[in-house]
Amino acid sequence: MKKYLLVLLAVVMMIPSMVSAAEHKVVPTFKLQKTTQTMEGIKMSYPQVVEYKDTKVMHTINAEMAKMLVQTADFLHKNNQGATGKIDYKVTLNHSTLLSVLFDGNFNIKDTNGKTEKLNVKNGMTFNNEGRRVLPKDISAINKISNKPDMFGADYLNAKVKAAAAAGKLTLNPGFKTVDASAVDFYMDDTTNIFAIFAPGAVSPLEKGSVVVAL
């Protein structure tokens, strides 16, 4: 999977080749800078692309990451009486064709009864070098082309989740039956391994926070 993933992404998502065979010209990676701001009681740290060969791509990626963080803050406050905490991040892949970031938020949530509880929320964002966000359906298309199992299909995800539970890596919800394959997030590491992210309460009890499962 690792060797042909980047190549197939180039085909499926129309990503330019990272190296021109004729010119041997290497496409640069994304130059990033840490940015921190506080919004509605939540301290947010996130990467901003500060240098790239295409400024339009740079601005598109920056806008998409900022939008996601704003939506997270709004969601936390809209569905609770209050929320404080912070969001950190890790750049898990910075390649000439792909940029992947894992956001890790830890919050103190006050529910409608005034009780405060801790909540961990993770989000993944992956972009190609045209500024387009890579989605689970793109990975599914790659799997189809290469005659591999659909990594974001319900059967595959269920098998991975249950295997992780059997290995003691996560605790399943009582009566767990199946995942909601349409609501799965992901990120990629620097060897293009893919990690599914399940929202708090989706497969494990809410207090366990987001659950990450290697695919």
Per-residue model confidence (pLDDT) at position 40:
81
Sign of CA dihedral 140, 150, 3, 161: positive
161, 203 in Cβ contact below 8 A? yes
Per-residue model confidence (pLDDT) at position 6:
52
Q: CA-CA distance, 99 to 122, in Å (whole number)?
A: 17
Q: Is the pLDDT of residue 73 over 50?
A: yes
Q: Is the pLDDT of residue 112 over 80?
A: no
Helix runs in 53-151, H state only: 55-78, 136-145
Q: CA-CA distance, 30 to 134, in Å (whole number)?
A: 16
Per-residue model confidence (pLDDT) at position 80:
65
CA-nearest of 130, 10, 131, 16 to 64 is: 131
Q: Where are the domains of the chain?
A: 2-214
Q: Is the pLDDT of residue 10 over 50?
A: no
Q: H or E stretch including 39?
A: strand 31-39
Which pLDDT band holds residue 81 (cuts at 50, 70, 90)? low
What residues pair up with 128 in beta bridges, in sequence order?
98
Q: What is the pTM of this model?
A: 0.85
169-180 average pLDDT score: 93
18-47 average pLDDT score: 72
Which pLDDT band holds residue 197 (cuts at 50, 70, 90)? very high
Mean pLDDT of the chain: 85
